Amino acid sequence: MEHKNFTYSVKSRYNGTVYYICSHFRSASSPARLIIKSSGAIEEVGEHACVRESETVIEATEEMREVLEALATTDMSVVPSAVWKAAIRHLHRKHGENTSLRYLPRHRARWTHCRTG
């Protein structure tokens, strides 16, 4: 569940009330909780310790499309999923491993080969 740009996971349910815990609870020791009562009221408990500095997201969809085309035409025997993974690795090497990238999702990056002969 997402609430105010934070992601929560269900911790428990009791009498129509759902208790959520911050998804970064284990990795960042974030004590933030979210309680959604059966009436629909939302109660926020605790502060988020997982707040990161705002980071910029690099739009790499066109760049990924070009990389996919180049990789796919280089060796037609490579399966599409391997080409997609190689394109992702290429983009992360170019922009840095910890950079947020927006790229083509796997189902949109598919293509078909047509053999004639």
Side chain identity at residue 73, one-letter code: T
Q: Are 95 and 89 in contact (CB under 8 A)?
A: no
Q: pLDDT tens-digit profile of 31-64?
A: 788 888 888 888 888 877 776 555 567 788 888 8
Distance CA 16, CA 45 (A): 18
More confident position, 117 or 61: 61
Share of the chain above pLDDT 90, in %: 3
**Which two three-digit tokens encode residue 7?**
């992601």
5: left (phi over 0), alpha (psi -120 to 50) or beta: left
The model's pTM? 0.45
Q: In this structure, what token pair is assigned to residue 68?
A: 């996919």
Q: Are strands 6-14 and 2-3 parallel, antiparallel or unpaired?
A: antiparallel
Q: What is the pLDDT of residue 22?
A: 84
